[in-house]
Every structure is written in structure tokens, then in C-alpha cells.
Structure 1
Amino acid sequence: MEKITVLAHKIYESSPLLKGFQDSLENELHDLSNAEKIDLLAYCFKSYDKGFNISLILSCPIIWKNFDIKDWTILMTKMFPREEFNKHSFKEINSGSYCDILVLNGIIGVDPFKYLFNNTEFSIEEKKLLFDFFKHRGEYTFYINERELIEDIVHFYDLEVFQEIVIMKEKLLLEGLTPAVNYEKIMEQYSFLEIF
């Protein structure tokens, strides 16, 4: 794990992570196993803010482009327990601790909520807390304005990331995930988890 934390700090110190950034770390990132890449993402998501983590995903598709549904589910599982939040405070609004869901739902465009809310591995309390977070922060945290995302990629990242996103979405749909659905539909589907 020390290798992963050292690499994560090195990447974080390199920010902003813009076009061509990954060239300096290409060998180190390429040599990681999928398990190490999952650990790297989990560490970064838990340690750094949302903006950094979105940049990491968009600037280094080498980290996630070989993942399959099993790798993504391991990553989501490693993100539990999720950071507690206070619905009356916005201090965690830029927290990276929900970036796994944002990447799948908002960037790749597949639905991670079925896995999260129907999985018997997670306690009902964990699901309720996640649903409460979704209810109060979901629209902002888990959905990205597609036009802004495209503009950001064109201006700040390598265009190949578009291709990797499309390939990943197609792969995950073939492996059984469904396309992302809007906020209202998720609220309706999982309202039985509501905390008053």
C-alpha cells in the first residue's frame, strides 16, 4: 500500500493534471495491476477533493480503461464506509469520497445505484446514509453537465479520453449494467430508503 500512497502523493503534487501530464508517470501507471489501480483510485477518492479526482480520471484513462464490471464493483465496495455528511452544511460538497459513483454515473454514463442499493454486502444503515446523501447532494454530486464535460476535455485533456469513455460504457453495458438514469427516477426507485 505504501507504493500506492507514494504514487498518489506524487500525482497530487503534479496537479493541475492537464494535457500530457500522464507522460511523466506513464511507466509507473502502466506497470500497476488492476488491483493496485483500484487501490490508487480508492486512496485518491478518499484523500483528495472532487476537482482533483475528476482531473485524474480524465487525464489518466490508463488507470481505469482496462477495468471490467468486477473491478468497478470492487472499487465501489472499497469506498465503504462512506464519509458521514450533514445535510445542513456544505463543507463536504467537494469531497472526493463519492467520486466512484460520479465517474460511473456522470462521466461514463452507467447506473451504479442498482449495485449500491440492492447489494446485500452493504448494511441497510449504509444504504440509508447513501440515499440521504443522494437526496440532498445527488443532483450536484453525481451528474455532470455533458456540454461542460465535453468543453473541458477539448480544452484541458487529451481527446482520446472520449474514446475510452465510450468504450468503457459499451463494455459495462455488455457486462450487464444499464445506462445512467436521471435524479428523479433514482429518487423514486429507492425512496423506501428515505431517512426523515
Structure 2
Amino acid sequence: MEEIIQKLHQGIKQSGWDIFKHLKKELLNYNSKDLIIKLLNSKEFKYKNIRSLLVIIPELWKDFSLEDWRIIMREVNRPSNYRVFIDDGPYFEDVRFLYNWIGIDSIKLYKNDPEISDENKRYLDRVFPLFLHDTMRNGEYMEDFHDGTFGDIKFFREMKSRLMSQGAKPSPLPDL
């Protein structure tokens, strides 16, 4: 897994987010849940790179259940000293992604999980709501779904339906 993470890291430096589509087949050969956890815990990636990976290649998470997302949330180490307007690590991107792009209330999901420490819940409180909004959802983002920049929108809609059928609540954002 370290090899693909290094390829991603180097590829982002050299060609930006275009590298995601070039590495898609290789990425999908890995355990997606473990890969996402590893990336979210990495100091080498910025939050916008991980968010973009999740938006561009939904096949990484398209088969996840609510429990899979809970496992990811539990396994990410949230830094106690994260500064919203200064730091750009990916440590909260799972929560933001679910809230903004899938459309479920991942904050409530996170805070109500008895397996997540009170300490980590406090770290989330320090970051949200300031860090909750995703500027990629402003403006003409739907065009990015239509022109193939982002992955197939059906995966996002199906994921929301699946997670809600498993007990998740919707976020207040409009549906994709």
C-alpha cells in the first residue's frame, strides 16, 4: 500500500488531480477502506487532495455500508491542535465528505458513536462548523459531474440512500 500512496503523492505534485484517473485501476486493487484510513491519517496529503480523490473515484467507496464509514471515522487520528485556517491536513475529510457530498449528517453520526473518544469529539467541535463548508460545492460543480471530471453522480445518490436506510440522518444541504 505504501507504493500506491507514494505514487499518489508524487503524481499530485507532478500532474495534480489528473493522476487519480491514471491510477484508478491500481487504486481499486487495494482494500479501499484501509487505503482511505491510511490517506486520512497521512501528513503528506492536503484535505483538498483527499476530497478530490473521493469525488473523482467514487468506486473507492461505492460499496461501503454505514458501518464501514463508522470504522473509518473511528480509525482516523484527529489532531488536538488542528488550526482551521492554517493547517490543511486531511484528518477531518471523511466527516466533511459525508456531510457535503453524500448528504448525511456525519457530525451527528460521529458524536453519537460510543466507540469514538470524548477527546476526539472535542477535536471535531473545535474544527466544525468553521471547517464544514466545502467550496467545491459552490457554483457550477454539477458541470464537473456531467463532463466526467468527477465520478458518476449515481454513486453519491445511491450511497446516501443506502446510509439513510441503515440509520443515518440527512445533512441540511441540498441533494446532488
TM-score, normalised by the number of residues in structure 2 = 0.81
Residues of 1 paired with 2:40 and 2:33: CA distance? 10
The alpha-carbon deviation at position 86 of structure 1 amounts to 5.5
SS of the residue 2:128 aligns to: helix
In 1, are the aligned partners of 2:104 and 2:160 still within 8 Å (CA)? yes
The alignment of Structure 1 onto Structure 2 pairs a total of residues equal to: 168
Which of 80, 84, 93 is matched with 1:99 structurally?
93
Identity %: 24
Q: Which runs of 5+ in 1 are unaligned?
A: 183-196
Q: Find out whether 1:149 has 2:147 as its counterpart.
A: no
d(CA) in 1 for partners of 2:133 and 2:89? 12
Q: Is the 8 A contact 2:79 2:123 kept in 1?
A: no
Equivalent position of 1:39 in the other structure:
34
- C-alpha separation in 2, matches of 1:64 and 1:84: 27
**Secondary structure of 2:114's partner?**
coil
Report what 1:109 is aligned to.
103
Write out per-residue CA displacement over residues 41-77 of structure 1, whole angstroms, 9 at most, x where no aligned residue.
Answer: 1221222101211221122112111111111111111
Which string of whole-angstrom CA distances, capped at 9 and with x for unpartnered residues, describes residues 65-94 of structure 1? 1111111111111113x012355x7221x2
Q: State the 1:24 CA deviation.
A: 4.4
Gaps of 5+ in 2: none
Distance 1:85 1:171, change over 3 A: same
Sort the Cα spacing of 1:148 and 1:139 in 2 relative to 1 into closer, same or farther, 3 A.
farther
- The equivalent position to 2:124 in structure 1, one of 127, 130, 140, is 130
Change in Cα spacing, 1:138 to 1:99, as seen in structure 2 (3 Å) is: same
- Cα RMSD of the aligned pairs, angstroms, is 2.5
Contact 1:17 1:56 in 2 (8 A): yes
Q: 1:167 offset after TM fit, Å?
A: 1.1
- Quote the offset at 1:139 in angstroms: 3.8
C-alpha contact 1:85 1:133 (8 A) present in aligned 2: no
Matches of 1:130 and 1:21, distance apart in 2: 28
Deviation at 1:171, TM superposition (A): 1.0
Normalising by structure 1, we get a TM-score of: 0.73
Q: 1:24 to 1:134 in 2, by over 3 A?
A: closer
Partners in 1 of 2:68 and 2:34 — Cα distance?
Answer: 11
Structure with the larger helix share: 1
Return the offset for 1:146.
4.9
Distance 1:79 1:145 in 2: 24
| Equivalent residue letter for 1:84 | S
